[in-house]
């Protein structure tokens, strides 16, 4: 299981933009009434609710008990399973049928799973033949400005490079991983999405939420984040607002029938 502990309340309060951006994926999934759709890395459940609202039988899978707990409290009538994509079996995902889902949606999750070939194989297994995968994750170059400045600051403090939990593939690299697992890749996009972070402490809050590894071994995280914000304000701060240098990778792929 991944060892990242998720603060589900902070996620919803300050980082709702992650699931809001993912809503575009719903149109690509285009769920038909009665279809079985799995949301891999469902977080606090908003896409499962939206899929259900469009008439699908939706199930959310997430490895974080904190995220699944919050999803269940927000949407008590919907279906959420706590489990790791890499180990889960179709029969663990009831009421999804054992034959698998007609579609899988995954937003902002697959870059947290560095074992990409295993993740692709698991997605393939959980789809029935002719099933479709619509996924978005951080792509090559994602948050590179934040990471490189944080690494410079770590080096100044004589700390070793941070041990990154992230996998940010190129478009071609990820398409190859999916094709090797058996998918046909139908469409793929790699694009920049400067992402506003609310509040004067927006960048620091983002690092605490998603980039905790950048603070590993840091004796005074508050001072470190203060210094990081100071160094990045000129590049990522505009008109009193922070913009994270997101670069996303979006793919539509099909399991051949
Ligand atoms: C940034 S959140 C995205 C949540 C949601 N998809 C959204 O759009 O708001 C990433 C989620 O991926 C989950 N996750 C990470 N690795 C996972 C794995 N191996 N299996 C299942 N879920 C995983 C985390 O627990 C977390 O809830």
Predicted pLDDT of residue 114:
97
Burial 47-73 (b: 16+ CB within 10 A, else e): bbbbbbebebbbbbbbbbebbbebbbe
Predicted pLDDT of residue 3:
56
Average pLDDT over residues 239-257: 96
Asked whether residue 185 carries a pLDDT value surpassing 90, the answer given is: yes
Q: Is 107 in the pocket of ligand 1 (CB under 6 A)?
A: yes
Predicted pLDDT of residue 22:
78
Task: Give the position of tokens 């799973």.
Answer: 113
Backbone angles phi, psi at 143, to 5 degrees: 45, 30
CA nearest ligand 1 atom 1, residue:
108
Asked whether residue 213 carries a pLDDT value surpassing 60, the answer given is: yes
Q: Where are the domains of the chain?
A: 8-142+165-196+246-254
Confidence of residue 1 (pLDDT cuts 50, 70, 90): very low
CATH code of 8-142+165-196+246-254, in short, is 3.40.50.150
Return left, alpha or beta for 16; rule: phi > 0 is left, psi -120 to 50 is alpha, else beta: alpha
Asked whether residue 2 carries a pLDDT value surpassing 70, the answer given is: no
What 8-state DSSP symbol labels residue 93?
Answer: G
Helix (H) or strand (E) holding 250: strand 241-254
Q: To test the ligand 1 pocket, which listed residue (43, 89, 123, 125) has its Cβ within 8 A of the most ligand atoms?
A: 43
What 8-state DSSP symbol labels residue 97?
Answer: -
Helix (H) or strand (E) holding 80: strand 79-82
Tell me the pLDDT tens digit for each residue of 139-174. Answer: 999 999 999 999 999 999 999 999 999 999 999 999
CA nearest ligand 1 atom 7, residue:
19
Predicted pLDDT of residue 51:
97
Tell me the pLDDT tens digit for each residue of 85-100. Answer: 999 999 999 999 999 9
Instruction: Give the rounded percent of residues in the chain with a pLDDT score beyond 70.
Output: 98
Q: Tell me the CA–centroid distance for residue 41 and ligand 1, in Å.
A: 3
Asked whether residue 127 carries a pLDDT value surpassing 60, the answer given is: yes
Predicted pLDDT of residue 17:
76
Instruction: Give the rounded percent of residues in the chain with a pLDDT score beyond 90.
Output: 89
Task: Give the position of tokens 């809503």.
Answer: 23
Predicted pLDDT of residue 23:
81
């Amino acid at each position: 299981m991944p060892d990242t502990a998720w603060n589900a309340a902070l996620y919803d309060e300050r980082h709702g933009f992650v699931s809001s951006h993912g809503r575009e994926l719903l149109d690509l999934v285009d769920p038909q009434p009665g279809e079985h759709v799995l949301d891999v890395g469902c977080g606090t459940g908003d896409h499962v609710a939206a899929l259900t609202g469009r008439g699908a039988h939706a199930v959310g899978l997430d490895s974080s008990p904190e995220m699944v707990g919050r999803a269940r409290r927000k949407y008590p009538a919907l279906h959420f399973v706590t489990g790791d994509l890499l180990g889960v079996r179709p029969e663990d995902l009831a009421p999804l049928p054992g034959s698998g889902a007609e579609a899988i949606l995954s937003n902002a999750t697959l870059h947290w799973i560095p074992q990409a070939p295993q993740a692709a194989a698991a997605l393939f297994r959980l789809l029935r033949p002719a099933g479709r995968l619509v996924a978005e994750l951080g792509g090559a170059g994602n948050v590179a400005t934040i990471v490189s400045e944080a690494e410079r600051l770590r080096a100044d403090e004589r700390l070793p490079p941070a041990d990154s939990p992230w996998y940010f593939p190129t478009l071609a690299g990820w398409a190859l991983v999916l094709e090797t697992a058996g998918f046909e890749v139908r469409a793929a996009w790699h694009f920049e999405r400067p992402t506003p972070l609310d509040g004067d402490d927006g960048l620091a809050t983002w690092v605490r939420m998603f980039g905790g590894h950048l603070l590993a071994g840091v004796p005074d995280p508050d001072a470190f984040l203060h210094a990081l914000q100071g160094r990045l304000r000129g590049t990522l701060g505009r008109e009193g607002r922070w913009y994270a240098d997101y670069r996303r990778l979006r793919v539509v792929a099909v399991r051949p029938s």
